[in-house]
Amino acid sequence: MLAPDAGGGFDPSLFEELAEVEGASFWFAARNRIVLWVLSTWFGNARSFLEVGCGTGYVLQAIAEALPKLELFAIDLHVEGLEFARRRVPTAGFAQADARALPLHAQFDVAGAFDVIEHVEDDAAVLASLRESVRPGGGVIVTVPQHPLLWSAFDDASHHVRRYRRHELEGKVRAAGLELVVSTSFISFLLPAMAISRLIPRPNGSRSVADDLRHTPRVERALDSVTEIEFALLRRGVRLPYGGSRLVVARRPPTTA
């Protein structure tokens, strides 16, 4: 995640707000399920993992709990996020760094950036850094918000630079020298409700990041049940063409003789 003067945007004051709502949000739970599924399905032999733009460490904590033998390292541009992440995952290594120019070369088996590159003008540089950070044959996992038509005040408040068009991320991943393994949308069954929610006017046009993340416990349970059904389909090989978010899994090509 980059500061506004570093080619992208994220307000460090949002970390505290995110840390408060992540644990109760169906959306964060759904994304964690998908990340853990990818790691266990395609990278089950991995020994090390790098998270780029770790934020509060919510994803990293889930990985640490589910895969305790995996050596974890994470970077973020903002010390505010790193402070939260260190408390959540004290066994991981952390560093402050710019995602566009990581000082890490072929050091990890897998690297991931989860809803990070949409904050960065030069997303190609971040994807190139992800590629360089993993060993030949290593994996890269990326999630992003999808569909420019869903742009709303939430994206403005989140300091997004873009929402990705269908197939856009795949093209950029290939251009970064990575081989595509899997590409699918998620948060698909809830896309109509998401679109309607984004179109509802807010008082004075204002909207905080937490507005889209906070629901009553009953609503959260219902939404989580929907994403569980969607996840079951993904595990069975169904690839969803449309959704609020997109997952791309790729590999760095192995070295050739």
Q: Tokens 């790193």 — which residue?
A: 82
Residue 35 clears pLDDT 50, i.e. is over it: yes
- The predicted pLDDT at position 166 comes to 85
CA distance linking residue 146 with residue 191, whole number of Å: 10
Q: What is the pLDDT of residues 195-217, one digit of tens each?
A: 888 777 665 555 566 666 778 89
Q: Name the region of 255 (left: φ>0; alpha: ψ -120 to 50; beta: rest).
A: beta
Q: What is the pLDDT of residues 45-93, one digit of tens each?
A: 999 999 999 999 999 999 999 999 999 999 999 999 999 999 999 999 9
* Residues sharing a CB contact under 8 Å with residue 55, sequence separation 6 or more, in sequence order: 1, 15, 18, 76, 81, 84, 85
Both tokens of 124, joined, read 């190609």
CATH level 2 (architecture), domain 4-251 = 3-Layer(aba) Sandwich (3.40)
Query: What are the residue boundaries of the structural domains of the chain, listed by start?
Result: 4-251
Confidence of residue 6 (pLDDT cuts 50, 70, 90): very low
Q: What is the pLDDT of residues 123-181, one digit of tens each?
A: 999 999 999 999 999 999 999 999 999 998 888 888 999 999 989 999 999 999 999 99
